[in-house]
């Protein structure tokens, strides 16, 4: 009898968590439907918003590990573009395999270089990101002068049909295991919770932070494959233009990590999807791009300020709970 009751409670709890997790994107999509029913009232339009969030989701998962240890790396866009250019170049010589290996291997190398610069110079991650961003953007512009920036139509298959879902599911499984069921995942969450305590426990924080860049580079490689396969081409960026590629994924990660009804890996999906819908809502309302950028900037300031000061914000609450527990 008790077993059945516990089972029912567990099922109800699970249903409640699913509802709370999906509540935000569903409400946002309802706003989108009410704004423009003819355009977004169809099931195909609903699926389209999910598809549009896939690249940002993959980038977001690559940034989640770094953000978990309070590293904000805006160079991810420049690394994606440069890795994409290298992947396109290799695809023209070695086909689809050249595209995949070119994007992934070069992205891992670029992520490792960024991590080394951060580890050796010991400067804030944001400054490191800006420095390497300028270098990678310039290299991308130089490389693109002597090549064709488009891939063959037969290499677009990875972002078409069910292939994109297969790749995203495989990435989800990998990220979920790495974040929740490995020593690496437990340690980076310990660092994010309290770096001093983590260091006193014997965790090599410098090494772990470097590895987040390497792992992030690996995941950015697959995001690059989706990015290039979806567009069919890759254009070089300069003048900090690649930073815009990182904005939406960062917001998706920050929003996803604030959702307490689900695991952070799932939360990043919900956050990325929600941000994509918000972008569609702003377009449906006819807001110009500059106003959209203002809103994005304000949101970034809020979420980054919250992330960097969360210990101070929650300290009074934690202290109060500890006092009540002791009493």
> Tell me, what's the pLDDT at 50?
86
Q: What does the pLDDT average to over 172-193? A: 93
- Distance (Å, rounded) from C-alpha 14 to C-alpha 268? 19
Least confident of 9-18, 77-86, 180-189, 318-327: 318-327
pLDDT band with cut points at 50, 70 and 90 for residue 231: confident
> Tell me, what's the pLDDT at 79?
96
pLDDT per position as a tens digit, 241-251 = 888 888 889 88
Q: Is the pLDDT of residue 325 over 90?
A: no
Gap between the terminal Cα atoms of the chain = 36
> Tell me, what's the pLDDT at 70?
87
pLDDT band with cut points at 50, 70 and 90 for residue 318: very low
C-alpha closest to that of 106 among 127, 78, 126? 78
- Distance (Å, rounded) from C-alpha 103 to C-alpha 96? 11
Q: What does the pLDDT average to over 141-145? A: 89
pLDDT per position as a tens digit, 23-72 = 888 888 888 888 877 777 788 888 888 888 899 999 999 999 999 998 98
């Amino acid at each position: 009898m008790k077993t059945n009751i516990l089972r029912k409670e567990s099922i109800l709890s699970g249903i409640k968590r699913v509802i709370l997790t999906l509540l935000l994107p569903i409400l946002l999509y309802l706003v989108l439907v009410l704004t423009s029913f003819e355009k977004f009232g169809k099931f195909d339009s609903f699926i389209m918003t999910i598809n549009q969030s896939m690249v940002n989701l993959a980038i977001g998962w690559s940034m989640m590990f770094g953000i978990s240890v309070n590293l904000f790396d805006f160079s991810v866009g420049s690394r994606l573009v440069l890795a994409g250019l290298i992947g396109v170049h290799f695809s023209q010589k070695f086909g689809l395999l050249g595209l995949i290996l070119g994007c992934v291997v070069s992205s891992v190398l670029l992520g490792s270089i960024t991590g080394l610069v951060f580890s050796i110079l010991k400067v804030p991650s944001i400054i490191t990101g800006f420095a390497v961003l300028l270098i990678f953007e310039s290299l991308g512009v130089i490389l693109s002068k002597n090549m064709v920036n488009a891939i063959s139509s037969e290499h677009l298959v990875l972002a078409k049909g069910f292939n994109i879902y297969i790749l995203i599911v495989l990435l989800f499984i990998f990220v979920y295991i790495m974040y929740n069921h490995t020593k690496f995942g437990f340690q980076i969450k310990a660092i994010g919770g309290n770096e001093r305590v983590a260091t006193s426990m014997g965790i090599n924080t410098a090494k772990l932070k470097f590895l987040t860049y390497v792992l992030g580079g690996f995941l950015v490689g697959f995001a690059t494959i989706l990015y290039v396969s979806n567009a069919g081409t890759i254009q070089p960026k300069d003048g900090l233009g690649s930073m815009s590629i990182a904005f939406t994924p960062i917001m998706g990660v920050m929003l996803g990590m604030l959702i307490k009804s689900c695991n952070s890996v799932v939360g990043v999906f919900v956050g990325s999807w929600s941000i994509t819908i918000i972008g569609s809502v702003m377009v449906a309302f006819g807001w110009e791009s500059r106003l959209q950028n203002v809103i994005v900037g304000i949101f970034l300031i809020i979420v980054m300020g919250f992330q960097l000061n969360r210990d101070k914000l929650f300290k009074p609450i934690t202290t109060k709970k500890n006092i009540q527990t002791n009493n």
